[in-house]
Structures are given as C-alpha cells and as structure tokens.
Amino acid sequence: MWLRDELLKSIWHAFTALDADHRGKVSKSQLKVLSYNLCTVMKIPHDPVALEEHFKDDDKGPLSNQGYMPYLNKFILDKVREDFDILEFNKICWTLCFHKSICPKRLRISEDDAFKVWCIFNFLSEDKYPLVIVTEEIEYFLQKLMEAMGSGWSEEKCAEYRLQMNSRTCLTAWELIELVGTGYFSTVSRPTLSLAINEVFQELILDVLKQGYMMKKGHKRKNWTERWFILRPNSMSYYVGEDLVEKKGDIILDQNCCVESLPDKDGKKCLFIIKCTDISFEISASDKKKKQEWIQAIQKCIQLRRLGLSSPHRESRLRRRELRQRQQVEEEDLVERMRELQAANDNKERQLEAMKAVLHYVRVCVCVLIQVRQQMEEQVAQKSSELEQYLLRVRELENMYHQLKEALEDERQAKQDEEAMRKLQARLLEEEAAKRAELEQMHLQQQRVLSQTEAERQEMVAEQLAKERALQAAQLQLERLEQERRGALEQYKVRAHMWIRQKRNSTLVQSADSEEQSTDSEEQTKQIITSTKICI
C-alpha cells in the first residue's frame, strides 16, 4: 500500500506548478481538472458535485492549498486502493510541473530520466513543505548512482560541491535534477548514466530488490524454461523476457514461505526451491554465486514479512531520519551544555576580577599601614588595637585568596568537562569506524568463501583428470594381456599339431601291430587332442 505522505508529495508539486503567481492559491477550475485526473488514474469514482459542495462558502477567488487539502483527503486519498498504477499517477503530476520548473536543453539526461530522479527526490525528501532533500540523502542517492555506474564515490567533488552551496544544507527537486543532469559527479556517457538512473529508480521506487534470468520447472509438463525473475518485498514475478511484456506468474512471499537449497538432479545444477503454503517452485540459477545471492535475498524478504516491516529501503530511510533526529537532539543538548558552561565561566571570570580588585585594594591598604607604622613607631602602644584589626583584615584577604584559588579550580574542572565531551564525540566516531571495519570484514569473508569454492572446483577437475589417466592405463594393460593370451594360444596350437604329427608317423611304422593296439592308440590320440583343446 502506498503511503499517503508519498502521494501528497507528488500532488504538492502539481499544485505548486498550477500556482503561477506563487501566492499559494489555484483557481477552482484548475483544481477540478486536477481532481478528475487524479481520480481517473487512481481508479476512484469522481464526484464533480463534491468539489462545489466542499467549497460552496469560498466562491470569491482562488483556493489555497490548506483549503484544498481536506477535500483531497476526504474524497480522494481516503478512497485510494492498491491496484492503481503509481507510475502513471506520478506522470500526471510530473507533466504539470516539469516544463514550468526546468529547461531540458541544459541537461545531459532525457525527460524520462529526469522524471525518475524526480520520483527518487519525492521518496528521499523530508516530510515537510516546501519539499527539500537534505545533504545526507543527496550523498546516499549519489553513492548508489555511482555504484550503479561502476565508479567510485568522490569525496573531493562532494566537498567541493558543499563549498559551492555555502551554508545551504538541502536542495529542491529541480536543483537535484540539474545536479544529476549536468554530470557534475560523473563523466560517463549518456546511456551509462541513463542505465544507472533506471537501476536506482527500480531499486528505490519500484522496490526491485533483485532481477535476472533463471530456469524454472513447470508444474504441469515438468519442463524447464528460462524466465526473467524480479524480486520485490512481497512477491517474486517471472516474465518471458526482461522487456516485461508477457508476465507468466507471481510467487507470493508471506511469513509461511521458506526457501531451501536442493542437490543437483535431472541434469540441472544450482537448484533451490521456494515452498509456499499450497505450492512449491523449483528454480535453477546460472552458478553457485547467483544461487546463494537469490536465496539470501528471498530469505530477507520473508524475514521482513514475518517482522511486519515494509520494503528495506523505506526502513533504511526511516532509520536514517531517526539517526539525524537523534544527532540533532544531541547537538542541541551539547550546544545548550556549552552555553551553560560558558555562562558559568563568564560568572567565574567576573568573580575573579572582583577578587583581583579587592586584593589590589588590600595591597594598597598594607602599604599604607607600613607607612603609618614607620611614622608612628612612638605610638605603637596606643595603636596596638588598630594593628590587630588590620591583621584581621589581612586574614580575611587570605581567605578571599583561597576562595579565588577555588574559583580557578572550578574553572579548570569546567574545562575538563568540556574535554570529556570532546572525548565522547571521538568515541562515537571510533564506534562508527569500527562498524565500517566490521562491514569490510564481512566483505573479505565473502571473498574468502568465493576463493574456497573456486579451489574446490579446481580440485574436483584435477581428481577427474587423474581418474581418466588411470582408466587409460588400465585399458592399455588389458590390451597387453589380451595380446599375451592370444600368443600363448597360438603356441599351444602349434605344439598340439606337432605332437599329433609325430603320433601319426609312429602309427605308420607300427602298422603291423595288432588292430587292438591301433584302436587304443587312436583313442589315446583323441584324448590327448581333447585335453590339449581344453588347456587351450
């Protein structure tokens, strides 16, 4: 659901554009047209009589923003639904104010890119009117833009731009568009800048947390098809291509969903599954890194749903605002404390000056006493009582001197308190640096995991090569044994034939022997041939 404050920002731009005289008032006819267009794009039934009834007591002249706001809340924003096109709504408000506020010819970006920067401004601007974006949010947007272009953040240019802004700490929407459109912070080509603006726009405004091609298993035919996936905080949509022309379906993510990794199967690798309440989706990523990134992104969305939070960028924006508010309160407390310490210091200095004046007066009095003593030595006895009084005054002055030292000690303590405050600020800066170092350590750990994965892959390749070489060696050895077996078989056949030939020769020589011996000899020969064949 779009927040009312975000819708009001776009409407404020439109109302301001219609206020040609900058008096904070717009004619009723223009407000009728604006209201009709808003109702049309937000799919709200428009009641033309409601505006007349609402302003029936104010027909004398143009209507102010304060007078139009109750009508806007009651008859339009209170009836708004979730199914309207937020981009079309912003386009209507943008069309009313763009050409009246900035010259497109001075920019290196197209009107569509300027519109996207305008939407980003409305998202990051403060919830105060007139709308402005503070320095911290400007730097946040520019850093994401630089990351999308693949270039680093330039602190030197940022410091130089702050000097050019002098004492200003915020920008309007048109100043931000001109800052991005003039290419002050980037020297890349126009297409690269346009792609970077579109990427940041999709991330911040359209809540696109991740997108890319993956293979999805069908539910009916069980075939694998490549789809373009777009992950948002509440759903994961998939399309035929990245042009988003033909949408094939949505995976609704709620607190009951879960995502798990799957082993490789059916010739598919890098598999994971998204389990919803009534259906599950099997998906194959292009590599292990993309698989892990998708699983982590989906788990983050499910965790946000379980915590009842909105999109991560809105939560991040709220945290930044709360941090700025806390820092502002701390700075105000620190300024008030410094003011109190300065007042106490001024008071101590005044007391010190008074003490110095009294001490000077005492010194003068002591000098006078010494002179009187020299002049009236003969009257010592008579003036002894007066001398005691003067000595008492001296003791009082010594007490005053000690009080003065205590005052100086109080001033030193005040300076120590001030030093302690400075140390506290330094400690806060160190904690911030430690957090940044922790983030860098996490980045290094991810790099080590990637390196370990690559090493495992190389080890598996080496092991496969070793197995292939062993298989080839075994095949060669098997061929050699087969050749040896064939040679032995030939030798056995040659020896058998030679033996048979010898037997036949001996049989011819002994032909005169009895027929029984010849028969026995033939049977023995057959047995020998049979045994020889068996051996072979």
> Tens of pLDDT along 141-192?
888 888 888 776 666 666 666 666 655 678 888 888 888 887 766 677 888 8
The mean-pLDDT minimum among 23-32, 297-306, 440-449 falls in 23-32
**Does the structure show a pLDDT above 70 at 65?**
no
Q: Considering only 45-54, 401-410, 512-521, which range has the smallest mean pLDDT? A: 512-521
Cα angle, residue 530 at apex, residues 527 and 535 outer, rounded to 5°: 125
In this structure, how many other beta carbons lie within 10 angstroms of the beta carbon of residue 209? 20
Place of tokens 């439109």: 14
User: Residue 56: is its pLDDT beyond 70?
Assistant: no
* Sign of the C-alpha dihedral computed for residues 405, 411, 417 and 423 taken in this order: negative
Peptide bond before residue 104 is cis, with ω within 30 degrees of 0:
no
**Could you tell me the pLDDT band of residue 1, with boundaries at 50, 70 and 90?**
very low
Choose between 478 and 105: higher pLDDT.
478
- Tell me the C-alpha distance between 321 and 137, whole Å: 9
Each residue's pLDDT tens digit, 185-235: 667 788 888 888 888 888 888 888 899 999 999 888 888 899 999 998 888
Burial of 457: CB neighbours in 10 Å, binned 0-12, 13-18, 19+: exposed
Q: In terms of pLDDT, which residue wins out, 503 or 421?
A: 421
For residue 110, CA distances in Å to 117, 260, 408 come to 11, 43, 67
- Joined together, the tokens standing for residue 489 give 């078989």
Distance separating alpha carbons of residues 416 and 410, to the nearest angstrom: 10
- Same fold for the pair 1-101 and 210-309: no
Per-residue pLDDT at 365 exceeds 70: yes
pLDDT at residue number 536: 46
Domain boundaries, the chain: 1-101, 102-206, 210-309
- E strand or H helix at 488: helix 380-509
- Token look-up 């001296």 returns 394
**How long, in residues, is the chain?**
536
Is residue 533 a contact partner of residue 495, using CB atoms and an 8 Å limit?
no
Query: Is domain 1-101 classified as CATH 1.10.3470?
Result: no
411: its two tokens = 């001033």
Q: Give the confidence band of 42 by pLDDT, cuts at 50, 70, 90.
A: confident
CA–CA gap between residue 135 and residue 133 (Å, rounded): 7
Determine the pLDDT at residue 17.
85
pLDDT band of 523, cuts 50, 70, 90: low
Average pLDDT over residues 91-118: 84
Protein fold of 210-309: PH-domain like (2.30.29)
